[in-house]
Structure 1
Amino acid sequence: MPTAPVATRVWLARAPGRRSARELARQQAPVTPCNWGLLWRALRANAGGGAYHRGRPVASVGRTASGGAVIRTADGEREYDLVVGADGHRSVTRELVAPEVRPVPAGYLVWRGTIPAAALRDHPAQLELLESSWVTLGFPGGHGVFYLIPGAATGSRLLAYAVYASPPPAGTAPDAPVSAAYVRDIAEEHFPAEWADIVARGEHTSQALHPVADFVVPRAAEPPSCWPATRRA
């Protein structure tokens, strides 16, 4: 599976009273960014001879009288010896393992976007930095993260970013255009000019807005089921 590993994390902020970047710190922080679409393709390609049921959402997971597990879909139900529920923030497996757990809003949102790296040729310094590092831009009440990931086409790359910040003021409609405008305003107000320009660009291949919630689980397994516990979703 194509990845884009880097070994260093660079912390930046906007210089006081200026639009230029000020480096705060560098640290060894190896990460291996990947493209989620390519990740799922690779997992599917390596499923081997196992049965892969595509397009059959799991409605619920339960226990059988004999101590096994039963998975229910629109097509009916089947019994299994073990269920591993790596099924995200809307997990139906978690409902079985820890039914009392409910998401607690974290009080902030995350805006994500991807831009073809080729569209940023006029930002050579930023792209050069991202060749070996992932970048965190701090600002009051939030931060932005920038890194490179492989594109869908062989040899292509995307610049991915995530901006974590407080929600828009009360009364602001949460539709996509307003959300995009709000994150551009955040970048314009808090980011160094060259990084704010990256967020403001129109060549996005994807944009998404996610609320963030905490899940605090007392257990991650209760036979015959287990759920990889996640704090943030």
Structure 2
Amino acid sequence: MVELSGRESRLIWRQALPAAFTTWGLLWQGIRAGVPDDVYHGGTTVTTVRADVEGGELGFADGSTERFDLLIGADGYQSRLRRLVNPGSRLNYAGYVLWRGTCDENLLTDPVLREVTRRGAVTACFDGGHAILYHIPSIPGFEHGATPGGRLLNWGVYGGLPAWFRLEGEAWIPPGRVTDDLARHLLRLVDERLSTGWRELVRKTGTAGMAIQPIFDVTTPTYVSGRVMLMGDAGTVARPHTGAGAVKALRDALALERIAGEHGTWASALAAYDAERCQEGNATVELGRRIGRAQVEDTPRWADMTQADFQRWVQEAVANRSRYLYPELGDD
């Protein structure tokens, strides 16, 4: 953890990072490789969903329908099946966004940042937000891909949007859609709050490598309704501070496999899954909200913070929950 203010920086915390950084593309490829082609229907659009106590029926864009014993909603943070299971659940906008960028690692020339990211990830703290930087594997065909044998850099800056911009619905702004005016707002933020190395990296990335992720979250009273169940971000959506997006989905899937082997009926299996995973999902959302307040909405005076201050700050933010990346600071 590094505190930066303009051109000044100092290290205020260092710790082991029990995490592996990857890309959604590589993660998807690995999962897809385990699904036989004859049961995978890519590009199939679901238009209707009907469910009852005996199963569910999906309607498709070509007019066909098919009935299933179980419907699993793993359709992401804008899940349609979440609205079926919990009609009252709505995404809550946190009031800030994550400005994201991906670029060739060779664009980073600052020697301090290069050394720190070579060994792990770095977080730069500033009033009203923070930035994070780490390596990810290269992706074949990515237009800003790494040089042969190299890696990519992923950077993110948490902060607000310009006053004149209004979000449209719940969608993120993908690479290639970030306008020059939006990029200039980010560059002003970076110029005011971060060091020269960060400023150069953001500028070199350019708008083609930038994206904007509005920060949403949602809790839910249940993951199950009849023979419909939710998984991953379709169930609950936690802020990315928790590092729980893919991990939460994988843990949901592993829990379903285990629980299904322990129960003899759909009713008892789904009740057990709901009791375990809905509670965990909601707790992770609450954790993300606490961290969001501590790291973006109500940041401390970084310039005055000692290592002991930082340790107390982390303990208060994560409330001694070992599900986050500071387990050595917790009680459990």
TM-score past 0.5 threshold: yes
Class of the TM-score when normalised by the shorter of the 2 chains: 0.7 to 0.9
Alpha carbons 1:68, 1:82 under 8 Å: kept: yes
Q: Distance in 1 between matches of 2:83 and 2:57?
A: 14
2:146 counterpart of 1:146: no
Q: Which amino acid aligns with 1:140?
A: D
| Secondary structure, aligned partner of 2:93 | strand
Q: Compare the two structures and name the one with the higher helix fraction.
A: 2
| Residue matched to 2:228 | 225
Q: Distance in 2 between matches of 1:184 and 1:35?
A: 25
Alpha carbons 1:215, 1:230 under 8 Å: kept: yes
| Secondary structure, aligned partner of 2:83 | helix
Q: Distance in 2 between matches of 1:173 and 1:97?
A: 29
Q: Distance in 2 between matches of 1:50 and 1:162?
A: 39
Q: Which moved more, 1:146-155 or 1:185-194?
A: 146-155
Compute the RMSD of aligned alpha carbons: 2.2
> 2:41 is matched with which residue: 33, 53, 67?
53
Identity of aligned residues (%): 31
Q: Distance in 2 between matches of 1:201 and 1:49?
A: 41
How far does residue 221 in structure 1 lie from its aligned partner after superposition? Answer: 1.8
- With normalisation by structure 1, the TM-score equals 0.84
2:101 counterpart of 1:113: yes
Which deviations, in whole Å up to 9, do the C-alpha atoms of 1:98-153 show, x marking residues without a partner? 11111121111111110101232x23432221122111111111111111000114
Q: Which amino acid aligns with 1:207?
A: M
| Residue matched to 1:104 | 92
2:171 counterpart of 1:196: no
Q: Map 1:211-222 onto structure 2 (within 5 A).
A: 211-222=214-225
Q: Which amino acid aligns with 2:101?
A: G
- With normalisation by structure 2, the TM-score equals 0.60
Unpaired segments of 5 or more residues in structure 1?
1-10
Alpha carbons of structure 1 residues 60 and 142: separation in structure 2 relative to 1, 3 Å: farther
How far does residue 20 in structure 1 lie from its aligned partner after superposition? Answer: 3.0
> 2:3 is matched with which residue: 7, 10, 13?
13
| Residue matched to 1:37 | 25
Alpha carbons 2:77, 2:237 under 8 Å: kept: no
| Secondary structure, aligned partner of 1:183 | helix
Q: Which has the higher contact order (CA 8 A, sep 6+)?
A: 1
Q: Distance in 2 between matches of 1:44 and 1:78?
A: 22
Displaced runs of 4+ in structure 1, greater than 6 A? none
Q: Compare the two structures and name the one with the higher strand fraction.
A: 1
